[in-house]
Amino acid sequence: MICGSAEAEAREYQVAIDKNRGVVWFYTLSDPDPGGHVYCHDPRDVNSQGYAGRTITFKVGKTGTYNAKGPWHATAEALFTGTGVDIRDKYLTFVAIAKRRGKNEGNTRAILEDVLYMDEKPILGLFERGRNLARKMATELGHPVCCYSESGGGSSSGFEYPQGTTYNDWRDKWETW
């Protein structure tokens, strides 16, 4: 299990200020997963409950620190919107894409069947890299595909559909491919 506050305190950060909202942003370019380690703190919000209201000490540069009560883990997209700092293409993700998704014998886990693509190791890119690739494959194949994507923050598994179609277009056709 990962301790989120320990993860936040383990890195050296650069700081950016959201001039419109007064929010302090922390991001790192020296980590293998910069997009996965973005945090924000509103110094005016003394009741903030990020990290259960705990005070997190961020390392700023080589020698500085910043104590933030109740900061929030955020996204590279939100950092860009608030500050213009663009690390949106710096998420470390592992992706696997398959024609179908089934269950194991005990019916306790999903498994990918007929794998079309799988990273050898996590790759730096857009957070939606897997979904974008799966959507392209679904369009080329002419049917939905299953996309599994894993990052430092967790994982997801779901279907992507050919361009111009949705789940409703396929719900009666799942067994036809």
Write the pLDDT tens digit of every residue in 56-75: 999 998 899 999 999 999 99
CA–CA gap between residue 175 and residue 177 (Å, rounded): 6
| pLDDT score of 175 | 66
Name the amino acid, one letter, at 2: I
Query: Which residues, 6 or more positions from 14, have their beta carbon under 8 angstroms from its beta carbon?
Result: 26, 27, 28, 29, 60, 61
In tens, the pLDDT along 88-140 reads 999 999 999 999 888 778 877 788 999 999 999 999 999 999 999 999 999 99
Q: What is the pTM of this model?
A: 0.86
pLDDT given for residue 82 in this prediction: 95
Q: Domain coordinates of the chain in residue numbers?
A: 4-83, 91-176
Helix, strand, coil content of the chain in percent (nearest 5): 25, 40, 35
